[in-house]
A and B are shown apart, each in its own frame.
Chain A
Amino acid sequence: MKILVCVKQVPDMEGRFNPNAAGTWFDEAGLAFRMNDYDEFAVEEAVRLKERLGGEAEVTVLSVGPDRVIETIRKAMAMGCDRGVHVRDEGAAERDPWQIASMIAGYARSRAYGLVFTGMQSLDRGSAQVGVLVAELLGLSCATTAVGFSCDGGTATVERELEGGAKAVVRLKLPALVTCQLGLNNPRYPTLPNILKAKRRELVILTPDELGIEAPLVATAGFSRHERSGACTVLEGELDGLAARVIDLLDERTAVLRRGGGR
């Protein structure tokens, strides 16, 4: 079986997100990048499936973005993907989900993948649309928020996470696309021999035009960063003084002490 995993490189969420010059997205300066968490679950599940199936299975990992995403593709290959596809697109960060999906579908259409894994959503844009749109464009059956996965012959069984921790089990016919949620698996840490092998594995570079990128359907008009209102207060100093200041703060900002009627 041929398996495709789609991964995105996202900024580390600890960074400071400032609007870019146009005010339409964040400025990348000073940010550290990594593989989207949910996509790591997708890679792990694809590799596990390959290992279960044995010799005949092959996993391709695809990522859209500027040259820095190669690092993420290599990491996925170090985790066990066989081949890499880099859709070189400097503008990827500001593309809408429809455009990204159109490129992925453009690549996958003629290649007959039995299963496609993607993350449930990305940590930065978080639209949770790309996987679903790819499934629609390719005519695949689709299940989202997978926390359990198994595959038997032509049928995949997916455990889905529902609100409040409830779960549902769905069955879908292959070819299918599954978007992966936290709890699906525990992604492996690449071993050094695999990291070194990944450097020598085939990496195909393609352009958006070659894959038939479509015009956007949604444009991001503005970006503003989260202003922390109730940020935590760190008190430092001698123990005796600290207790008094905690009481003052509680009194001043909350009603827990119920003095003077509170709020």
Chain B
Amino acid sequence: MQESREIFWNVGSGAVPVMYLLSLAAAGAMVLGFRRLVGVWRQGRPLDRFDRRRERFTRFISESLTQRKVLRVPDGGVFHSGLFWGFSAMFAGTLLVMLQADILAPLFHVNLLTGLFYRLFSLVLDLAGITAILALGGLFVRRFVIRPDGLETTREDGLVHALLFSILLTGFLIEGSRMAVTEVRDNHGLAFWSPVGLLAAGLFASMDDATVRSLHRGLWWLHLLLGLGFVVMIPLTKLRHLFTTSGNSFLAPLEGQGDVATIDLEDERIERFGAANAAELTWKDLFDADACTACKRCQERCPAWATGKPLSPMKVVRQIGLAAAQSPSGSIVDDVTRDALWACTTCGACQEICPADIEHVVKIIGMRRSLTLMEGEFAGDEVRKATTAIEVSGNPFGVAPASRGSWAVGLPVSVMAEERNVDILYFAGCYASFDPRNRKVAESFVRICAAAGIRVGILGAEERCCGEPTRRMGNEYLYQAKARENIAAFRKYGVTRIVTACPHCFTMLGREYRDLGLEVPVEHHSTFIAALVERNLLKLAPEPFGCTWHDSCYLGRHNGIYSEPRGLLKAAGGALSEMAPHGPDSFCCGAGGGRILAEERTGRRISAERVKMARQTGAGTLVSACPFCLSMFEDGLAADGPVAGMKAQDLAEIVAARIRG
């Protein structure tokens, strides 16, 4: 018995040149479609995303083939992956048939598609096809029947669904009709290797040969045209994500998320700052808009959106796409609206979950830069006041800079101006320096260092705001001015190691000051203290307590520090109950992105939302390691009134209270 099939059975070899001509035309139409898109992307500013190609290519392969990011959310993700793998297998199968029919057979007289390999080939493709149909059905029910909140459905979605479904359906009907007059009759053993095709063949069982053959021929041409229609449709519809979303796993930044470009303020040729319109964003920002599939995962996790504010990261990306295509020089800031732009906490939850590797935050900061640097606008009068205070006094409170080191009077801390022979420079930051609640954190940190025999120095009056809130609000100029003052002070005292208890200072000094020339290693107090315990320099007397750990955005998502603080809590005797969103999915306290300077005027309070999540764990203590988070939680807990049962503490306070000896 022959264990193979005749390629182009019943269609005739005359169909082959026509098929290839049509395919060429379809491919040409697709290329033209993408050329138009490339033209749209190229309106943006330059940005190098083609360096370190090996690393990028590896990520591209692993992320797109495994569907890792898509699968992070099972709702929609599982079906999408089924459709992706099913379609990929069938695409590979079609390529193999082409290879066989037009290269191997005529040139080498070899037939791969025979014997056991052919049987497996038939089975795998049949299963791939049915997987794709079932997955597509699942997606259909989700989108058109269940209609999840926030999922926007347009006519385009209906069209894509119909197209995909008819391609899959006609594929099985072709197989079934062919099998009905071949395998089913004369090679039943082989037919069982195509179970879905066998099922489809049943539909044709009662028809006569000639009818089946003409039906088969018709279906074959229909299937071909549908397939080529799909190819043409790729650049014109959301289907473009086949290239753009997977392409983004190549183009996405290799550094941690959230890094914003440092503007060269010495370059006199630059006359416009930030992005007032689509053309002032980078080409990658415009590309991102075409990589977005509107899956609304970002929107669901955005703390601003979740508390009734007018910001949806998904809508921002789509508005950019629309502007880039229709009015690249129109005001994108007006489209997105100022209120939406100022509402962002730059927490990065959107970016973390995005299956398309879209960078939402840099776009928002780009637009904020335009508002701040080109228009002199602020999120509110209170932000203007705080910004001026940072400019004049080096802190957002407007307290006299001379008193910045006062918190350390009487503590075992030396001011660098007087004694620079220290083990670490503790960069206290504005909150630990002036906010009474956070001064306690600084005191705890100093006590820990003293117990571990670490000599601590501070800049005192010479320390300035690290510039983070103002940079995130878009004021690059003021940020660089303050950063340079800090860097000058570090250099003046030959500082070699910096520790800070603030994740925002940590991100600035440790990462963003690099562009301005600071190379000194910078640690966050959570990892620094964890290392002291690890190396037995600090001995703890554990004391049991129940707690929940809040992953601050700039500690977790932005810097990947998740395990050290949890380890420390356990070492201190803590029984940890996790909040529902934690780790990389953590929910912001509301104070990032410079929002610490701003009043929260619209919607519910983000901090209240997070405190509610913390209360649901039933833990007695809400622990964090960020002065902004601590301030927000103290407010959030106080707003609940005299409800007993939960207090907010910094990790350093927990540890300091359990020092042995």
Contact = CB atoms under 8 A, between A and B. Distances in A.
B376 A190 contact: yes
A171 interface: no
Contacts of A15: 400, 402
Contacts of B461: 30
Nearest to B397: A14
B375 A12 contact: no
By size class, the interface of chain B is: 20 to 34
Nearest to B461: A30
Contact of A189 (B378, B402, B476): B378
Interface stretch (A59-67, A93-101, A128-136, A192-200): A192-200
A188 B384 CA distance: 10
A192 B478 CA distance: 10
A239 interface: yes
A188 B376 contact: yes
B418 to A, nearest CB: 15
Interface string B364-389: 00000000011111100000100110
B392 interface: yes
Interface stretch (B17-25, B265-273, B625-633): B265-273
A250 interface: no
Contacts of A193: 271-273, 373-374
Residues of A contacting B: mostly: loop
Given A12-B400, A31-B400, A191 B374 contact: yes
A32 B393 contact: yes
B376 A30 contact: no
Interface in A176-233: 188-193, 195-196
B62 interface: no
A196 B265 contact: yes
Contacts, number: 56
A197 to B, nearest CB: 10
B641 to A, nearest CB: 10
Nearest to A234: B436
A56 interface: no
A192 B400 contact: no
Contacts of B387: 189
B375 A191 contact: yes
Nearest to B403: A16
Nearest to A240: B642
A33 B394 CA distance: 11
B398 A12 contact: yes
A234 B436 CA distance: 11
Nearest to B263: A192
Contacts of A14: 393, 398-400
B477 interface: yes
Contacts of B33: none
Given A189-B384, A191-B374, A12 B402 contact: no
A173 interface: no
Contact of A30 (B377, B392, B401, B642): B401
Contacts of A236: 436
Contacts of B642: 239
Interface string A1-38: 00000000000101110000000000001111110000
Nearest to B274: A192
A190 B384 CA distance: 12
A191 B374 CA distance: 5
B393 A195 contact: no
A192 B393 contact: no
A215 B282 CA distance: 61
A177 B375 CA distance: 30
A152 to B, nearest CB: 28
Interface in A240-257: none
Contacts of A188: 376
Nearest to B394: A32
Contact of B373 (A16, A31, A33, A192): A192
A34 B402 CA distance: 15
The residue in B265, B376, B384, B399 that gathers the most chain A C-beta atoms within 10 A of its C-beta is B376
B477 A192 contact: yes
A188 B374 CA distance: 12
B338 to A, nearest CB: 15
A236 B16 CA distance: 87
A189 B377 CA distance: 7
A192 B265 CA distance: 9
Contacts of B393: 12, 14, 32
Interface in B464-491: 476-477
A189 to B, nearest CB: 4
Interface string B121-151: 0000000000000000000000000000000
A191 B276 CA distance: 14
The residue in A16, A31, A32, A191 that gathers the most chain B C-beta atoms within 10 A of its C-beta is A32
Contacts of A196: 265, 268
Contacts of B272: 193
Nearest to A29: B402
B376 A191 contact: yes
Contacts of A192: 265, 273, 373-374, 476-477
Nearest to A14: B400
Interface in B257-281: 265, 268, 271-273
Contact of B402 (A30, A190, A234): A30
12 contacts: A16-B402, A16-B403, A30-B400, A30-B402, A30-B461, A32-B400, A32-B401, A33-B392, A192-B373, A192-B374, A193-B273, A195-B477
Given A29-B402, A30-B402, A32-B394, 17 more contacts: A14-B398, A14-B399, A15-B400, A15-B402, A16-B403, A30-B400, A31-B400, A31-B402, A32-B392, A34-B388, A189-B377, A189-B384, A192-B273, A192-B374, A193-B374, A196-B265, A234-B436
Interface of B: 265, 268, 271-273, 373-378, 384, 387-388, 392-394, 398-403, 436, 461, 476-477, 642
